Amino acid sequence: MAISQTITALPTAPTTADPASFRARGDAFLTALNTFDDELNTVISQINSTETNINSKEASATASAVSASTSQAICTSTANFQGTWTNQTTVLGQSWYYNGVLYRVLIAGNTSPIASPSNWVAIIQPSGKNYIINGGFDYWNYATSQTMSGYGSDDRWYNFNFGSTKTHSQVASTDTERALFSASKFSRTVVTSVVGATNRVDKFQRIENVTKLAGKTVTISFWAKANSTKNIAINLWQEFGTGGSNSATITGLGKQLVSLTSAWQKKTITVSIPSIIGKTLGTDGVHTTCTTLQFWFDAGSSYSDAVGLGQQSGTFDIAEVKLEEGSVATPWTPYEGEFGGEIQACQRYYEAIVPKIINYRFATSGNANGVTTFPCLVFNTIKRIPPTSVLFSTPSTFKVEPTYGSVQVLTNISVNSVNVNGCTFNCTVGSTIASLNHTLQAADTTAWISFSSEL
């Protein structure tokens, strides 16, 4: 704030040396002091405001200088970027990726940032949005392992096999592994290959809404290893939904082999995704269109997208998968940048509930073999679409407990109605219950209900 207030000059002060004008000058001087007081207070207020403004601008300037310094360091490092450091001899001013972090060389040498930290400086990088949900493999609400083909273990990941067999499971990271990447768990697929042109084992995730990434350059990064030196293959698809005259799926985008060893390595792949101008989306809406990221472990000769991977048995581990916009891999982050958002994102597609108490209003159907009640359950998260699959444990794992009267185990349970917000059930018990208020509860620890709105 500028200081705009001016101070009016005071008149000549009275003096005993001039007794004739003393009274007139005294009156004028005292009157002027009132104006002087008001003007001086205004100036002081403006000075205080200016000081606050100066302090604020100083802090902002300091922050901008830090940001500019960081940006300059990133730009300088990018200009001298050499790739991923393994054991190369470095030169002052070069920049290298190591364990997923961008470093600049301060002192030339041939030792890593871990072995010789004083030789390197880490460059601060803003982290890009991760379009992969559960890329850190933290959530396994289906189960912690599966052998069947389909969704069945790690949330949002479809674990496919045909002909060849696999066991897919959750593995806890060791202290040594957590020194490389931050994930507490990772995905393991143990493949038993069976010869056949159409036989395969792969895993993929569909990223909802094909328009999100159309026409963009994306970078895929992940940690991986195998039980011995082997290849895997990776590629992207674009799917345009169903209904109407939708365009055919485009497969094999950015397809390439990725070499693995028995030691963890961070892999980075950049792919240009085509525009969808001229493509026709299905009439069922964008929520059934997607861009899909696929990892191949075993592939018969029929699959050109696997770029000659071939058939192989083995153990394949993957951790911290990220797909982001741009041509540079930034540090891994969960979907939406924090784990709370990722839990909700997982539940938008699949929610498994171990019911303890489900409250509902009681009604009777009047059938001769028992009484049907209609409990209502509200989902923790609004679903992508009304669930297409609702599964239960056996009816005997649930019970009805009235306000008064005896507890009764269910003889049957089925879906009455379902939408994106919740579900009502048909629950049958063996005899009439007098009380009009009840709760549906788990009869034992094996009770569960699951809702799937997966792509």
| CATH number of the domain enclosing 308 | 2.60.120.260
Exposure string for 331-366, b = 16+ CB within 10 A, e = fewer: bbbbbeeeeeebbebbbbbbbebebeebebebeeee
pLDDT on residue 368: 35
The amino acid occupying position 227 is N
Whether residues 303 and 361 fall in one domain: no
Per-residue pLDDT of the chain (455 residues; tens, 9 = 90+): 567 888 888 888 888 888 888 788 777 877 877 887 788 778 777 777 766 665 555 555 544 544 555 555 555 555 588 888 889 999 988 888 787 678 889 999 999 988 898 898 887 667 889 999 999 999 999 999 999 999 999 999 999 999 999 999 999 999 999 888 889 999 999 999 999 999 999 999 999 999 999 999 999 999 999 999 999 999 999 999 998 999 999 999 999 999 999 999 999 999 999 999 999 999 987 788 999 999 999 999 999 999 999 999 999 999 999 999 999 888 899 997 777 789 999 999 999 887 655 544 434 433 334 566 677 788 889 999 999 999 989 999 888 777 666 788 888 888 989 999 998 888 888 776 655 566 778 888 888 899 999 99
CB of 183 within 8 A of CB of 136?
yes
Residue 74 lies in a domain: no
Distance CA 23, CA 127 (A): 78
Taking each continuous run of H as one helix and of E as one strand, the counts in the chain are: 3, 26
Domain match, 179 and 321 both: yes
Segments forming the whole domain that contains residue 30: 1-66
Residue 365's CATH number:
2.60.40
Which of 300, 317, 347 is the endpoint of a domain?
A: 347
pLDDT of residue 190: 98
For residue 138, being part of any structural domain is answered with: no
CA distances from 371 to 374, 405, 415, 431 (A): 10, 15, 16, 6
Element (H, E) at 77: helix 22-79
Q: Domain total for the chain?
A: 4
At 286 the three-state DSSP class reads helix
Looking at the structure, tell me whether residues 367 and 332 fall in a common domain. no
* 439 lies in the same domain as 304: no
Q: What are phi and psi of 343, to 5 degrees?
A: -60, -45
Cβ–Cβ under 8 Å, residues 216 and 325:
yes
Cα radius of gyration (the chain)? 34
Same-domain pairing of 284 and 206? yes
pLDDT for the residue 362: 39
Query: Where is 354: in which H helix or E strand?
Result: none
The reply to whether 6 falls in a domain is: yes
Complete DSSP assignment for 18-55: -TTTHHHHHHHHHHHHHHHHHHHHHHHHHHHHHHHHHH
User: What is residue 365's predicted lDDT score, i.e. its pLDDT?
Assistant: 37
Same domain, 178 and 43: no
Indicate the pTM of the whole model.
0.73
**pLDDT at res. 408:** 81
Beta bridge partners of 208: 290
Are residues 337 and 439 both part of a single domain?
Answer: no
Residue 117 lies in a domain: yes
Of the three residues 347, 367, 387, the one that is the final residue of a domain is 347
Look at residue 252 and tell me if it is in a domain. Answer: yes
The CATH number covering residue 112 comes to 2.10.10.20
Of the residues 317, 347, 377, which one is the last residue of a structural domain? Answer: 347
CB-neighbour burial class of residue 182 (10 A; exposed 0-12, middle 13-18, buried 19+):
middle
Say yes or no: 319 and 175 in one domain: yes
pLDDT score recorded for residue 79: 57
Neighbours of 126 (CB within 10 A): 9
Q: Is residue 325 part of a domain?
A: yes
Which residues on adjacent β-strands are paired with residue 353?
Answer: 449
Whether residue 156 is found in the same domain as residue 263: yes
Inside any domain, residue 223: yes
88 and 152 in a single domain? The answer is no
- Contact (CB, 8 A) for 455 and 389: no
The residues, any chain, with a CB within 8 Å of residue 393's CB and separated by 6 or more, are 446, 447, 448, 449
**131 in a domain, yes or no?**
no
Residue of 428, 452, 103, 156 whose CA lies nearest to 290: 156
Assess whether 239 and 343 both reside in one domain. Answer: yes
Among candidate residues 379, 420, 381, 452, the one with its CA nearest the CA of residue 156: 452
Gap between the Cα atoms of 130 and 5, Å rounded: 55
Kindly state whether residues 61 and 176 are assigned to the same domain.
no
- 51 vs 1, 60, 62, CA distance in Å? 9, 14, 16
